[in-house]
Homo-oligomer: A and B are copies of this chain.
Amino acid sequence: MADADKTRQALLEAAYEEIYRHGFQAASLNTILERTGVTKGALYHHFGSKQKLGYAVIDEIISQKLDREWLTPIQQAGHPIDVMIEVIQQAGQQITSQQIDQGCPLNNLAQEMSPIDAGFRQRIDHLYQKWQESIEKILRDGQQGGTVKPSINPADAALFILASLEGCMGIAKNAQSIDELKRCAQGLFGYLDSLRC
């Protein structure tokens, strides 16, 4: 039934927006229902609880966003360090001043939910691992191609790159400053350059 799928998808997207704005715990189901024009009966028909709705937002919405905006772009041909810097810079140029103080949807959920809900934690961890492995992979390829220092550990470096990327976005989010994001990213680029052969 196409209508049912449309209802489900509308709920997922509205839930994503609401959670992104207020966090999961402060996200209001009633607001989601108002925005979509869907009733509570429909919501509890498709998702059995607020928790399961949150899980679905991670598994379907955020996971897809990560693929589209990071995992796929990073796999293009070229010097791995150049590719990463370019992907980060393009993301930085597309960002709006509204988006900057909302931060990274995945990191927001991680910081809020990982200590209090194991299901959230596992799902977020799964995405972080995919993210890290995609960075690790191009670093390893770079080592084999002779463009990345053979002395570094690709897994450890990928972990740190991911961490400082989230750190930069977190700092810029609080400062509400794109300029601060770019200053912070310069530090990351400096680190990335130090991985070149």
A residues near B (Cβ < 8 Å) are: 21-23, 25-26, 101-103, 107-108, 110-112, 114-116, 121, 124-125, 128, 156-157, 159-168, 170-171, 173-176, 180, 183-184, 186-188, 190-191, 194
Number of copies: 2
- With both chains docked as a complex, state the minimum distance between the C-beta of A97 and any C-beta of chain B, in angstroms: 12
Does B164 lie within 8 Å of A160, measured CB to CB?
Answer: yes
Q: How far is the CA of A164 from the CA of B186 in the complex (A)?
A: 12
Dominant SS among interface residues on chain A: helix
Does B160 lie within 8 Å of A184, measured CB to CB?
Answer: yes
A170 touching B111 in the complex, CB below 8 Å, given contacts A116-B22, A160-B187:
yes
Show 22 A/B contacts (Cβ-Cβ < 8 Å), sorted by A: A22-B25, A23-B25, A25-B25, A110-B173, A111-B173, A111-B174, A112-B112, A115-B173, A156-B186, A159-B180, A159-B183, A160-B168, A160-B191, A163-B164, A163-B167, A166-B167, A166-B171, A167-B170, A170-B170, A187-B191, A190-B194, A191-B194
